[in-house]
Amino acid sequence: MTGEAPMRTSARPRLAESVSFAAVVLGVLLACFPYFEATRNANELPRIAQAVALVEDGTFAVDGLLARGWDLGPDLSRGADGRLYPNKPPGVSVVGALAYMVAKAVVGPEVTLRQVTWAVRFATAALPLALAAGFLHRRWTLAGILPARVRLALWVACFGSPLFVYGRLAYGHALAAALLVGGIALCAEAIGRGRPARALGGGFVAGLAVACDYGAVFAGVPLGLVLVASLRPRAYFVAASTLLGALVPLAALAAYHHVAFGSAFSTGYQAVVTPAFAAKHAVGVVGLSVPRWAGFWRHVLDPGFGLLAWFPAAVVGVVGLVRMALRPGDLREEARIHLGVFVVYVLVVSGLVFDGGWRVGPRYMVVALPGLALGIADVLAWIRARVVPVAFVTGAFVYGWIVCGLAANLWPHFDPQAVRQPVVEVLLPLLRDGAAPYGVPAGPVVVTGAVLLVGWFDLLPAVAWSDPGPLPSRFFGRRLGRPAPSRSEAPVPRGAWSHVAAALAIPAGAPGRRILAAVAAGSLLGVAGVGALHLVPRHPRSAANLAYVERVYEPGIDGRVPASRRVR
């Protein structure tokens, strides 16, 4: 149980709802393909190059590609055998190798880097994030949370946060986030029901996240604490099973480190060949020091690159997780783990001695963002029909959908050394000049508008008085099969706007109009928040940075489509 009766649904949710939701999330992620080959993306290209090397050369080393003229940028490390490797964990490259083989089989030997990048991004970012969204939708609706609230909460997390951006890039953050949230769910269920087999699977899946993003290892701290704090009969077996499951992928990662860098405990970051990077990674533990106010400001509060500048609804999620962690319910352990994960990552990014390169928000916190959706769903039940909270929460949602939609659909790479407020200094000028990536025509406007429309569609029923009953959704498949609410739950709509109330399943009369007014006011508040970003002073290099962006943009603002290099 979640602890609040109004959050209970009146019938068992259908699997088709979760499948269709995952399909819609995947469709949005694939609608645009922001790809700019001239940037030589140092976070993505080495991973893709290693995937190609695995298939073509049978090795994790990328020397063969360098010899064939590939420019992989500075994110390389010298291995114990003298060869060069990406300084990243190999998980994305292993999955990417499978994607490359499929792309090569479909396109042929003349497959281009642009085509391979699309395939690798699909396999390591878009598809895992969509599957995770469908999995969480199924799990949380079965736990009794209203489907409308689950859909909206996941919609906010997927498209109103930096997850939208990294669900389009082969950085490993989206893949690690999907694996971690799945592993946490399995472990939480194992705690609640005393099922060691589920814990074994949860530990294995969570361990895989570390092989894709080293930062995911910090999630083990809150996960372990919740396991220990929840000790009950058979809980020792659950804890042992979780650890055993996690050790399998971690052992494989250690074996890779031993082969590539000479020790199971040596990562690529300790052998980087770029002197500036080596100096940063030499501070503390691989560039991680004690939390500092400057780091907290830079990664959480900064108006250009902080978490709240891109995902203000994170506050809503934290409030909800705290509420769920303090009351009995089926999802209490899961909420506690997600809350602990978020707090740990706030501390981690506050101790970083480097910015994290080109980024949208604090990219090392991305693995902690999906869990906030659980807290958002709880808050939606808590504030239902309360005008002022609904307005402010709506404003946070709309703001996130706009700024993250523009970044994900226009330009997902911002240099903290050349930009102070990316929306104002890069995104709005690109939109004004008519830039649009590969994909649907006018993608930045069309996709961002579609995200807003779908979000608004679920906003009203999500904050209605009680279970809104069946929703005539055209976005999530056929009409949902839940029984209609009784008259005591939602009065039969009457009046001039009754067809709107019936379509959205919200209460009729003055209460319903107040909800509509709150959502409308909140939407305007979100738009005003985007406008307020103009108050941030511009970086002295912003004009030169924008000129560079427009020079390398694909397809060109003049309509030209540059050729992409062949992989072989």
The model's pTM is 0.89
Contact call for residues 156 and 376 (beta carbons, < 8 A): yes
* Maximum separation of any 2 CA atoms in the chain, in Å: 78
Contact (Cβ atoms closer than 8 angstroms) between residue 536 and residue 542: no
Q: How many angstroms separate the CA atoms of 438 and 452, rounded?
A: 21
What H or E segment, with its residue span, contains residue 32? strand 32-33
| C-beta atoms surrounding 545 within 10 Å | 18
Cα 228 from Cα 491, distance rounded (Å): 48
Question: For residue 504, what pLDDT is reported?
Answer: 55
CA distance 498 to 509: 9
User: What's the pLDDT score for residue 133?
Assistant: 97
Structural contact between residues 120 and 170, judged by C-beta atoms closer than 8 angstroms:
yes
Containing 151, the helix (H) or strand (E) segment is helix 147-159
Helix spans in 167-273 (H): 173-193, 196-212, 220-229, 235-261
In 3D space, the residue among 225, 152, 185 whose CA is nearest the CA of residue 378 turns out to be 152
Using CA of residue 457, residue 459, residue 464, residue 466, what is the dihedral sign?
Answer: positive
d(CA 41, CA 21): 31
Please count the CA atoms within 13 angstroms of the CA of 1 that sit on its side-chain side: 6
Distance of alpha carbon 376 from alpha carbon 163, whole angstroms? 15
Please classify residue 54 by burial: count the beta carbons closer than 10 Å to its beta carbon, then call 0-12 exposed, 13-18 middle and 19+ buried: buried
168: CB partners within 8 A, 6+ apart: 29, 32, 33, 34, 121, 125, 126, 408, 412
Q: Examine residue 555 and say whether the peptide bond preceding it is cis (omega within 30 degrees of 0).
A: yes
Place of tokens 């480097």: 354
Distance set, CA 65 to CA 48, 106, 117 (Å): 11, 22, 16
Q: Which of 195, 254, 199, 198 is nearest to 224 (CA)?
A: 199
Angle (CA) 55 57 59, round 5°: 85
Instruction: Give the residue among 179, 247, 369 at the shortest CA–CA distance from 239.
Output: 247
Task: Map residue 112 onto helix, strand or coil.
Answer: strand
CA distance 158 to 180: 15
Q: What is the pLDDT of residue 239?
A: 80
Reading phi first (left if > 0) and then psi (alpha if -120 to 50, else beta), residue 279 is in: alpha
- Report the DSSP pairing between strands 76-78 and 32-33: unpaired
Tokens of 452: 């807003």
Identify the DSSP state of 216: G
Using CB atoms within 10 Å of the CB of residue 3, give its burial: 0 to 12 exposed, 13 to 18 middle, 19+ buried.
middle
DSSP state of 37: G
Answer yes or no: are the C-beta atoms of 150 and 141 closer than 8 Å: yes
Task: Give, as one character, the DSSP assignment of residue 369.
Answer: S
- In this structure, what are the phi and psi dihedrals at residue 263, rounded to the nearest 5 degrees? -155, 145
Length of the chain as a residue count = 568
- CB of 116 within 8 A of CB of 100? yes
Q: What is the 3-state secondary structure (H, E, C) of 503-565?
A: HHCCCCHHHHHHHHHHHHHHHHHHHHHHHHHHHCCCCCCHHHHHHHHHHHCCCCCCCCCCCCC
Q: Which two tokens stand for residue 491?
A: 């009065």
CA-closest candidate to residue 100, choices 170, 52, 56: 52
| Residue pLDDT tens, the chain, 568 long | 344 433 444 456 688 899 999 999 999 999 999 999 999 888 899 999 999 999 999 999 999 999 988 988 888 999 999 999 999 999 999 999 999 999 999 999 899 999 999 999 999 999 999 999 999 999 999 998 988 899 999 999 999 999 999 999 999 999 999 999 999 999 988 887 777 788 899 999 999 999 999 989 999 999 888 877 776 656 677 788 888 999 999 999 999 999 999 999 888 888 888 776 666 655 556 667 788 999 999 999 999 999 999 999 999 999 999 999 999 888 999 999 999 999 999 999 998 876 767 899 999 999 999 999 999 999 999 998 788 999 999 999 999 999 999 999 999 999 999 999 999 999 999 999 999 999 999 999 999 999 999 998 888 888 875 544 433 333 333 333 333 343 333 443 444 444 445 445 555 555 677 888 899 999 999 999 999 999 999 999 999 999 999 999 999 888 889 999 998 8
